[in-house]
Amino acid sequence: MRLSFISASLAAVGSVSALPQAPKPAFAPAPALPLEAFNTTDFKPLTLEQAKKITGPSAPPNNNFQIQQDFAAAATCSNPRVRVEWDSYPAADRQAFVGAIKCLMGKKASGGWSNSGNRYEDLVALHQQLTLNVHGNSKFLIWHRYYLWAFEDLLRSECGFNKPIPWFDETKYSGRFRDSSIFSDQYFGGIAAGGRCITNGVFANLALNVGPGTGNTRHCLTRNDDPNQTINTQSSMVNACQARTRYADMAACAEGGAHAWGHNGIGGVMADMYASPGDPVFWLHHAFIDRNFRVWQNADGNRVNVIDGTDKSGKALTMDTTVVLNNIRPTVTIREIMNTLGDKLCYKYNY
């Protein structure tokens, strides 16, 4: 009698364990914040007509215009990494990339930022800290180039990622970002979330500690697809900015062009100028912007030797102006990173 009772009990336990188990969330839950919470300092977009109208340094120069050139032959790396556009990026590399980002999120924060919850958020907190220094002035493109490289370098050094990072050709998906496999269950999760938490993909239920704005309120990753805004990442917008011949003018157009429209069109966390790197899609978007910068440089070989414009304080940029990441990676000069094929960065794009 006792044996039969034990047998029945074991059978009952077995039947319970065989039932489907609810998956555990990848991250501790956090609430969604109203979309208005991310409308901090706005990304200020340009219309196509404004992008086509050259009003900056590409217009006839005046006596206050300064341009700095460095004709010294820069060292060229022998084996540059090739950043491949997402649609051509191998499936195994896609999985390795998102896995490496998640790995970085599982690493202990450096302690350099009290609001950072992990090593990935060190990057978010850095961007939050320096936002007003690296937006709305000519440092925008060159600073974000080094920032993007630092992210890639952290994936390599701390999470063993040995591939070049991908980029997202937004001209192919302008007005229909949701059709890209980037925004799928397999990778970064959905885009048309209406401001709700992203609950699918590798970063489902991702909780963020940095932002919105200059504050720090724990919240989940949110997006809010707006095709009426992402339509402005189209080739005509990019080409209008690429037509500008001087760096500062092109950089201002790039920032207000496809860059601003992409951030605002993805929405949610990406619409927050300060803490937008909290959405891992940030890196694909900024690789697109950096790729456009590189294409602009390729149109005139001397453009890797030339800088103009000013920083936030109005001080003229020179090739010796420093680019600072507050110890995430060493401080460099613009000269060291103006050419992506130099020894410091050593990368290019597949087209």
Whether residue 25 is preceded by a cis peptide bond, meaning omega within 30 degrees of 0, is no
Average pLDDT, the chain: 89
CB proximity list for 102: less than 8 A, separation 6 or greater: 26, 202, 203
Q: 286 or 60: whose pLDDT is higher?
A: 286
Q: Cα separations (Å) of 132 from 126, 141, 192, 253, 312?
A: 12, 14, 29, 17, 8
pLDDT value at residue 18? 40
- Cα–Cα distance between 211 and 40 in angstroms, integer? 10
> Taking 70 as the threshold, does the pLDDT of residue 3 lie above it?
no
> Taking 50 as the threshold, does the pLDDT of residue 118 lie above it?
yes
Residue 17 lies in a domain: no
Residue 196 lies in a domain: yes
3-state class (DSSP) for residue 82: strand
Residue 115 lies in a domain: yes
- Cα–Cα distance between 39 and 211 in angstroms, integer? 11
Confidence band of 53 (pLDDT split at 50, 70, 90): confident
Residue 120 lies in a domain: yes
pLDDT value at residue 42? 72
Give me the mean pLDDT over the 298-322 stretch: 97
> Taking 50 as the threshold, does the pLDDT of residue 339 lie above it?
yes
Residue 15 lies in a domain: no
Short-list 6, 29, 10, 30, CA closest to 18 = 10
CATH of residue 255: 1.10.1280.10
Choose the weakest-confidence range: 54-63, 68-77, 167-176, 178-187: 54-63
Rounded to two decimals, the pTM is 0.88
- Can you give the residue range of the structural domain that contains 336? 25-349
Hey, what amino acid is at 84? V
Q: Please state whether 222 falls in left (phi above 0), alpha (psi between -120 and 50) or beta.
A: beta
Tell me: the pLDDT tens digits for 166-210?
999 999 999 999 999 999 999 999 999 999 999 999 999 999 999
Structure tokens at 2: 């006792």
Residue 1 lies in a domain: no
Residue 10 lies in a domain: no
pLDDT value at residue 249? 97
Residue 18 lies in a domain: no
Number of domains in the chain: 1
Backbone angles phi, psi at 69, to 5 degrees: -120, 150
Confidence band of 1 (pLDDT split at 50, 70, 90): very low
